[in-house]
Amino acid sequence: MRDNPIHSLFQVMTGQIHDQLALGEYRWLTVILAWFLFFGGLATAVHVWRRFPEQRTGHNLGVFLLRFVSAGMWYLGTLWKLPWPVAHGFKDWLTNCVTYRSFHWQANVMQVFLDHIAVVQPLVYLLEVFFAFSLAFGFAVRFTGIVASLFILNLLVGLYNDPTEWVWTYVGIMSAHGMFAADGAGRALGLDFLLPRNRVFAAGSVPARLHALAS
């Protein structure tokens, strides 16, 4: 049976895709996270759009949609890194980065990660959850764009000689996240625009300086 994006979205939001079903009853935690990211990100964008007329531009709407879709990509990527302590898909990915790496030094690094996969996997999972949250809500997107680009660069180099991969896919993803960083994409209908207007982030405060660097 042929699928389509609308039906796939419905399946994800109701915990019906294969990676979610494999978690048993724990799949409902992934559903809760999906609803939080999807509706929370939309609600943030709508709130900024309605309250701040200067945000109502085609540029901001386009940037929001691009980072919102990218948030969905990262969320889906988290699903095959479960269940803990070790998911076979994640182990295969690390193994391939050792096997098909471009540089010998990278194979050594990835082998260390592979040897400590029970620790590395939860950390990568949490990092990708943060990427999804950041892009959905528009929070610290400049920081996320830089870190995510480096994350994807590691994939590009690690899987460069894999005959089943098309490395330009990773170039495209890396370029998109680089543009998010360069444009400060969270300032388009996101928390990176909203937070500096909160007194907690008053000019000169530590939170304000940290957020300014990250956004």
pLDDT at 202: 67
Tokens 């996101």 sit at which residue? Answer: 190
Question: pLDDT: is 96 or 133 the higher one?
Answer: 133
- Is the entire prediction scored with pTM above 0.75? yes
**Cα dist from 135 to 15, 74, 83, 130, whole Å:** 22, 9, 24, 9
pLDDT at 83: 67
pLDDT tens digit sequence for 21-37: 888 888 899 999 999 99
Question: pLDDT: is 18 or 179 the higher one?
Answer: 179
pLDDT at 143: 96
Identify whether the C-beta of residue 157 lies closer than 8 Å to the C-beta of residue 106: yes
* Among 81-90, 140-149, 175-184, the least confident range: 81-90
Give the integer Cα–Cα distance in Å for 155 and 158.
5
In this predicted structure, the answer to whether residue 141 has a pLDDT above a threshold of 80 is yes
In this predicted structure, the answer to whether residue 200 has a pLDDT above a threshold of 80 is no
pLDDT at 1: 65
pLDDT tens digit sequence for 116-133: 998 999 999 999 999 999
pLDDT at 89: 82
Q: Is the backbone peptide bond immediately before 83 cis, with ω within 30 degrees of 0?
A: yes
In this predicted structure, the answer to whether residue 208 has a pLDDT above a threshold of 80 is no
pLDDT grade for 182, boundaries at 50, 70 and 90: very high
pLDDT tens digit sequence for 45-71: 999 999 999 999 999 999 999 999 999
Tokens 């182990």 sit at which residue? Answer: 91
Which of 185-209 are b and which e, b meaning 16 or more Cβ less than 10 Å from the residue's Cβ?
A: bbbbbbbbbbbbeeeebeeeeeebe
**What are the tokens at 209?**
């300086």
**What are the tokens at 31?**
């559903």
